[in-house]
Amino acid sequence: MEKKNSYWSDIAFATKSLTKGLALTFSHLLKSRKSRSKISIQEEGYFDHQSGIATVQYPFESIPVPDHGRYKLHNEIEDCIVCDKCVKVCPVNCIMIEPIRSAEEFGKTSDGTSKRIYAAKFDIDMGKCCFCGLCTTVCPTECLTMTKEYDFSTFDITDHNFPFGNMNPTEIEEKKKAWDEHQKNKMTAAPVVSNPTDQPTSAKPVFKPRIKPPQQ
Ligand code: SF4
Ligand code: SF4
C-alpha cells in the first residue's frame, strides 16, 4: 500500500516540477523577444532597464563604456616631453622609449612645457599591459591617456605593439649627430680645471723639523 502511494506522489512531483520548469522557459522565451537596452552602467536606474535578456547585437551595436574605464592607451606624442616617468612606473615594462637629447629647446607642448628631448621611439605593447593606469597618473603633461577603445583584438600578438613616435630614420640620424656634435664641442670648449691639490712649488708648505739634531 505504501509503495502505491509513493508511486502516485512521485508522478505528482514530476508533473509539478516539469510544469514549473516549462513556465520558466516560456517566460524567458517571451522576454527574449526584447533586447537589452544600450545604456551605460553609469545611467540612473540601469538595472530597471535590463528586462530584455537577448544581448545587444555587437559589433553592430554596443553598450557605452564608463568614462573612467581603462582601455587602450594613447600618447599624444606632440605633447610628450620624453621624461621617462611612465617607463619607470610601469610594472610590466611595456613602454619602450628611445630618447635623443637636444642642445636647445625645440618646441613647447600644448600646456607650455619646454621640449628638449626627441622620441626616436615610443612604443606601448598593449599585449603586456595590465591596465593599471599608473603611467597616465604620473605623466606631467597628461599626454598619455586611456581611450575608450576596448576592442583591438588581432590574430598576431605582435600587432598589439603600438608605436607613437613620428620621426623618420633620417631625422633620427640627424638629431643623434647634432647631439654628439654638441657634446664634442662642449668637451673641447671646457676650461682645463687644475687639480686643487696641485699647488705651485713656492706655495708648498716648507717642512721645518722641530727636533734638534744631536750635538757632535
Ligand atoms: S597601464 Fe600600467 S601596465 Fe599598462 S602601460 Fe601603463 S603603467 Fe604599464
Ligand atoms: S610620462 Fe608622459 S611626458 Fe613623460 S615620457 Fe611618458 S608619456 Fe611622455
Q: What is the pLDDT of residues 119-178, one digit of tens each?
A: 999 999 999 999 999 999 999 999 999 999 999 999 999 999 999 999 999 999 999 999
Tell me, using a 6 A CB cutoff, whether residue 53 lines ligand 2.
Answer: no
Q: Which ligand minimizes its atom distance to the CA of 73? A: 1
133 near 90, Cβ under 8 Å? no
Tell me, using a 6 A CB cutoff, whether residue 143 lines ligand 1.
Answer: no
In tens, the pLDDT along 37-84 reads 778 878 888 877 777 667 778 888 888 888 888 999 999 999 999 999
Q: Domain spans of the chain?
A: 14-64, 73-170
Give me the torsion for CA of 160, 165, 166, 168, rounded to 10°: -100
Q: What is the pLDDT of residue 43?
A: 82
Return the higher-pLDDT residue of 197 and 18.
18
Q: Which ligand minimizes its atom distance to the CA of 113? A: 2
Tell me, using a 6 A CB cutoff, whether residue 109 lines ligand 2.
Answer: no
Q: Kindly report the CATH number that applies to the domain delimited by 73-170.
A: 3.30.70.3270
In tens, the pLDDT along 82-103 reads 999 999 999 999 999 999 999 9
Ligand 1, pocket-test mutation among 74, 80, 85, 92, most atoms within 8 A of CB: 92
Q: Please determine, for residue 210, whether its predicted confidence score (pLDDT) is greater than 70.
A: no
123 near 163, Cβ under 8 Å? yes
Hey, whose CA ends up nearest to atom 5 of ligand 2? 82
Q: Which three cell numbers stand for residue 172?
A: 633620427
What integer best gives the mean pLDDT of the chain? 86
Ligand 2, pocket-test mutation among 74, 88, 144, most atoms within 8 A of CB: 144
Task: Look up the pTM and report it.
Answer: 0.71
The pLDDT > 70 percentage for the chain reads 84
The beta-strand segments (E) located in the chain are 73-75, 95-101, 107-108, 114-115, 117-125, 144-146, 161-163
Bridge partners of residue 105, in order along the sequence:
none
Ligand 1, pocket-test mutation among 96, 131, 139, 145, most atoms within 8 A of CB: 131
